[in-house]
Each structure stands twice: as structure tokens, then as C-alpha cells.
């Protein structure tokens, strides 16, 4: 019982750390956010070698997070920011961190991420 409580609070601390990093990355970093239809755009798929089902991707070269603006913008920007912050993580680990963040994200934190996103929007 105690160890499960301990690991829960460790998970919560890890999530809060990630949320702070994402917020700081968006508010203070040099990266841009660009809205497009991502995978639905054939030219984008060819240029960036992404699947037609992609709803977001992280372009390290131009430091741009591409977000499908007709999908779940908040979730996509969290996911792509995690790719930008942790470029060595594979997709599976990125999805795990995304879920950890979403499980602990409060409305105020979601609001702050959305405001930061708007300030980064090209
Ligand atoms: Zn991904």
C-alpha cells in the first residue's frame, strides 16, 4: 500500500515536472508552432516523409511543431513538445509521457499551454 502511494506521488511529480518543462519550452523557447492539415497534405508527407495519418510532427531542423488544427490541438502540441524536448525518446516512450502529462494536467495548466501555443503560432 505504502509503496503504491509512493510510486503514485513519484508519477505525479514526474508529470508536474514534464508540464513545467513543456510550458517553459513553449513560453521561452525559440520553436514555432504551425497549423496545417499535416498528413492530409501530400506535399508535406513527401517533404517530411511522414504518414498520411499523421496529425502532428516535430521538425528539428526548422524548430517547428506542426499541428493539425482540426484535431485535438492541446494533445498534439503536448506530444510534439515532448518530441522536441526529448529527441532520443522513441514513439512509444513519447506516447507514455504524453499520457502521464494528460493524466495529471489541470485546467489552469492546459490554459497556460494553450496561451503559450498561441504566442508561438506562426
Ligand atoms: Zn510522435
The per-residue pLDDT for 1 is 55
Q: All 3 cell numbers of residue 25?
A: 519550452
pLDDT digits (tens, 9 = 90+) for 30-85: 999 999 999 999 998 998 889 999 999 999 999 999 999 999 999 999 999 999 99
- Residue among 28, 29, 27, 37 nearest 57 (CA): 37
Q: Are 98 and 78 in contact (CB under 8 A)?
A: yes
How far is the centre of ligand 1, averaged over its atoms, from the C-alpha of 5 (Å)? Answer: 30
How far is the centre of ligand 1, averaged over its atoms, from the C-alpha of 115 (Å)? Answer: 22
How far is the centre of ligand 1, averaged over its atoms, from the C-alpha of 57 (Å)? Answer: 7
> Is the pTM value of this prediction over 0.85?
yes
CATH (domain of 52): 3.30.2010
How far is the centre of ligand 1, averaged over its atoms, from the C-alpha of 13 (Å)? Answer: 23
Average pLDDT of 13-29? 97
Average pLDDT of 101-117? 97
- Residue among 32, 103, 18, 41 nearest 65 (CA): 32
Quickly list H helices, the chain: 2-28, 42-48, 73-85, 91-104, 107-120
Query: The domain containing residue 65 runs over which residues?
Result: 2-120
How far is the centre of ligand 1, averaged over its atoms, from the C-alpha of 95 (Å)? Answer: 7
Amino acid at each position: 500500500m505504502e509503496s503504491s502511494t509512493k510510486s503514485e506521488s513519484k508519477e505525479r511529480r514526474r508529470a508536474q515536472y514534464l508540464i513545467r518543462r513543456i510550458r517553459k519550452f513553449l513560453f521561452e523557447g525559440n520553436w514555432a508552432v504551425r497549423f496545417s492539415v499535416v498528413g492530409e497534405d501530400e506535399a508535406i508527407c513527401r517533404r517530411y516523409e511522414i504518414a498520411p495519418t499523421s496529425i502532428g510532427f516535430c521538425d528539428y531542423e526548422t524548430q517547428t511543431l506542426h499541428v493539425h488544427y482540426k484535431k485535438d490541438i492541446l494533445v498534439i502540441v503536448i506530444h510534439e513538445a515532448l518530441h522536441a524536448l526529448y529527441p532520443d525518446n522513441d514513439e512509444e516512450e513519447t506516447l507514455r509521457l504524453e499520457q502521464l502529462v494528460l493524466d495529471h494536467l489541470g485546467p489552469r495548466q492546459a490554459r497556460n499551454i494553450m496561451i503559450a501555443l498561441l504566442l508561438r503560432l506562426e
